[in-house]
């Protein structure tokens, strides 16, 4: 999609520290990390947010979640754990309207979140 920052990152038009990519999923470092490890995972195809998912996205989502867990284990977070979240809309503070999941790890997270 035109003028979508994360589409541009997925297409290599905007630079990012890409950690992993395949046909369906791209993972890269967040530019403003909120934890020692902060990686964003996105579908390569433009989907604005979790609100726009359909059942057909099931296999892609499974791949994305499994990739996140694999990356977390690679980063040494297998034992201590991590947080995996997506923001939808204004109350959650969604700033980029291309579906993305935050993989956060390397420190303790509070609950309930702020
Ligand atoms: P959200 O508030 O859930 O929409 O999160 C958007 C995230 O994208 C924030 O954590 C930003 O720091 C991150 N971000 C914005 N621009 C870039 C960029 N060019 N490269 C990597 N991460 C970015
Ligand atoms: Zn996009």
Q: In this structure, is residue 12 part of a structural domain?
A: yes
113 belongs to a structural domain? no
Find the catalytic residue in 37, 98, 100, 102.
Answer: 100
Q: How many domains does the chain have?
A: 1
**Which atom of ligand 1 sits closest to the CA of residue 16?**
20
Residue 70 confidence (pLDDT): 98
Helix (H, G, I), strand (E, B) or coil at 82: coil
Is 100 among the residues known to form the active site? yes
Please write the tens of the pLDDT for every residue from 75-102: 999 999 999 999 999 999 999 999 999 9
CATH number at residue 67: 3.30.428.10
Q: pTM higher than 0.95, yes or no?
A: yes
Q: Residue 41 is part of which domain span? A: 5-105
Amino acid 2: pLDDT: 87
Give the Cα separation of 85 and 111 in Å (integer): 13
Quick check: is 97 in a domain? yes
For residue 90 and ligand 1, the question of a CB distance below 6 A is answered with no
Task: Walk along the chain (114 residues) and give the pLDDT tens digit of each residue.
Answer: 889 999 999 999 999 999 999 999 999 999 999 999 999 999 999 999 999 999 999 999 999 999 999 999 999 999 999 999 999 999 999 999 999 999 999 999 999 998
Distance of CA 91 from the midpoint of ligand 2 (Å): 21
Which ligand has the minimum distance to the alpha carbon of residue 100? 1
């Amino acid at each position: 999609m035109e003028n979508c920052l994360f589409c541009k990152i997925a297409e290599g038009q905007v630079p990012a520290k890409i950690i992993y990519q395949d046909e369906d999923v791209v993972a890269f470092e967040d530019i403003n990390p909120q934890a020692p490890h902060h990686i964003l995972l996105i579908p390569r195809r433009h989907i604005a947010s979790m609100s726009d998912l359909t059942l057909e996205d099931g296999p892609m989502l499974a791949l994305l979640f499994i990739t996140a867990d694999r990356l977390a284990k690679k980063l040494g977070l297998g034992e201590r754990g991590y947080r995996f979240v997506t923001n939808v809309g204004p109350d959650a503070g969604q700033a980029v309207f291309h579906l993305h999941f935050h993989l956060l790890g390397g420190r303790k997270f509070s609950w309930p979140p702020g």
